[in-house]
Structure 1
Amino acid sequence: MTEAVPPLRRVLVVADPLHTFVTYKDSTYAMMRELARRGVALAACEPAHLQWRSGEPVTALVREVTLTDDAHDWFHVRRQGREPLHAFDAVLMRKDPPFDAEYFYATHLLQQAQREGARVFNDPAALRDHPEKLAVMAFAEWAPPTLVTRSAEAIRAFHAEHRDIILKPLDGMGGRGIFRVGADGLNLGAVIETLTQHGHTTIMVQRYLPQIADGDKRILVIGGEPVPYALARIPQGGEVRGNLAAGGRGEARPLSERDWAIARALGPVLAARGLLLVGLDVIGEWVTEINVTSPTCFQEITQQTGYDVAARFVDALEAAVRAGAAASADGRTGAAT
């Protein structure tokens, strides 16, 4: 009997520079550790290393790496060279925001690599279609009152209606650039001018949710199914932002009934659109953001609950690669008959 070929032998990770990883909390690092544990050969590159030339496939200047047990010197480069993306069993797009023009261009290069046979996760077209903040527009019934605009007049009217609001840039991450304006409207004009750049930049405005005091929950959805624990990121020291990068304290908790309802409603829809991994941000009863570029919180949930999120993710990745290979084989068989 022929032994089954493992679905993953080589994986390419497209991410920020490896030396910038904070390994004790980085979810991409956790993915890479789990892949290495399963004997998968790892390579890494940055979006800037992607390249296409007419008559050739999409390539990247990649570094083949091995992982060490040293948190400060956690990888060694074995070899460096340019390779086509379709030479890997899977390509993980894990570049952190901002979702700027260069990120947009990278998704087009990755989509071309898909046409050439590469299997990219999350799907590049789905990444473009689901910017972190704007993705909630497709699920408005699960979101708090929200406004997307560059109009100062519209923002002032929204504030007059809801009295206590949060304003944030569309391309931010980690809580950067988020402002709260209360009922007194103090500094609303200055905040509007700063964030919209005097009406030239579109922003998001949402009704302030006081339940933030109990945490901004990150619910991870993998392959359409939720991880049974969320990480509640609790603001500290008078902050309105719970983001860990803004000093929030992370507390892992079992999903509530409402959390399960949200995840089960959105998860299958997002998975069907090519999003293998999604991070839903939930405050109280409401989804405030849908993170698809590089959702995190793997390590915090695993450390506090023992639930191995990275293993769950790699299981789903293997299943997705197997399914893609089977679909390709069926397509070839159909074309031959």
Structure 2
Amino acid sequence: MAAALLFIVDPLDSLKAYKDSSVAMMRAAGARGHAIWAAEQTHLHWTKSGVSAQAVRISLTDNDEDWYRTHESEARPLKRYAAVLMRKDPPFDLEYVASTWLLSAAVREGARVFNSPDAIRDHNEKLAIAEFPAFVAPTAVTRDPERIQAFIDEQQDVVLKRLDVMGGENIFRVRVDDPNRNVIVEVMAQGGRRMVMAQRYIPEIAAGDNRVLLIDGEPVPFALARIPKAGESRGNLAAGARGVAQPLSARQREIAQAVGSVLAKRGLLLVGLDIIGDWLTEVNVTSPTCFREIQDQSGYDVAGSYISALEARLI
């Protein structure tokens, strides 16, 4: 069944085709005969007649340096597409939230949007772990600098994170005797005005921050262990980590099956879990990635599996 699919992404020229998961999705869908349309969140608009987007139809090439061709452009109601795939990267700021409001309105008009815009709003990628405390290392989320300091005293070695960024930005490891401890806490919490997540440092980060992908609630059989570079404690590819595809461990599968069965029912067709050692650290719902790295190293067709799951939802 050939269908028109709209991908809401960052500017096409900014996507690195050799590693970009959205491009992998487009290629997999295009290979099945689907028409691929692309738009940015700035191209979304609403009038009394409904939610539309100024979109361009593209065709895909196999050349990672020159990976697409543009064709006609038109403003089309979102409900006229077989599916709309929201693949805009964070930051999850007010503009992103406003886009999900428009997408929710489009859903009410009959559009099929993946991931569900309501679910994207409801699942902060850091704080969503609070729903699954059995799988979470000691963690505190607070604006109160004194509570953060008490948590550092208790745990001795912690990681502080903001709730609204990605790619390893604004993540600090703080030991109890760190001479910069007070200023880091002050800057992160902004004197009690900004929420901060504090997690006990998990030494297994040395073996990798493992990305486990869930497609319609089922785990992809390979995780990508993102191994920090020397002198780093951040397992993010954007921070220089090295990605190694590995079969899921028993613990990773246990976490994935427990979390996946809950989230798929909420319209989260694609989820990226971050697991360090035995512990779930993040639940990524905006634009989970690592498709290409897993496929290139393991041979498992992640993008094809995703498009198959999408097609099953559209039947």
Give TM class, smaller chain. over 0.9
Check if 1:227 corresponds to 2:225. no
One-letter amino acid matched to 1:23? A
- Show the 5 A alignment for 1:61-140: 61-140=54-133
- Determine the C-alpha separation between the residues in 2 that align with 1:285 and 1:132: 18
Residue 20 of structure 1, aligned match among 14, 35, 39: 14
**Higher mean C-alpha displacement, 212-221 vs 60-69:** 60-69
| Cα deviations by residue, 1:281-328 (Å, 9 ceiling, x for unpaired) | 000000000000000000000000100000000000001111xxxxxx
Q: SS of the residue aligned with 1:307?
A: coil
Check if 1:314 corresponds to 2:300. no
Q: TM-score, normalised by structure 1?
A: 0.92
Identity %: 54
Larger Rg: 1
- Show the 5 A alignment for 1:1-337: 6=1, 8-54=2-48, 56-322=49-315
Q: CA deviation at 1:141?
A: 1.3
Unaligned runs of 5+ residues in structure 1 are 1-5, 323-337
| Cα deviations by residue, 1:112-148 (Å, 9 ceiling, x for unpaired) | 1011111000000000000110111111111111111
One-letter amino acid matched to 1:77? T
Q: CA deviation at 1:51?
A: 0.6
Q: CA deviation at 1:19?
A: 0.5
| Cα deviations by residue, 1:77-114 (Å, 9 ceiling, x for unpaired) | 10112110011000000010111111111111001101
- Determine the C-alpha separation between the residues in 1 that align with 2:190 and 2:32: 49
Q: TM-score, normalised by structure 2?
A: 0.98
Q: SS of the residue aligned with 2:192?
A: coil
**Higher mean C-alpha displacement, 298-307 vs 189-198:** 189-198
- Determine the C-alpha separation between the residues in 1 that align with 2:138 and 2:47: 46
Q: CA deviation at 1:186?
A: 2.5
One-letter amino acid matched to 1:29? V
- Determine the C-alpha separation between the residues in 1 that align with 2:41 and 2:182: 37
- Determine the C-alpha separation between the residues in 1 that align with 2:165 and 2:99: 18
Q: SS of the residue aligned with 1:62?
A: strand
| Cα deviations by residue, 1:223-272 (Å, 9 ceiling, x for unpaired) | 11000000000011110001011000000000011011001111010001
Residues paired across the two proteins, number: 315
Q: CA deviation at 1:149?
A: 1.1
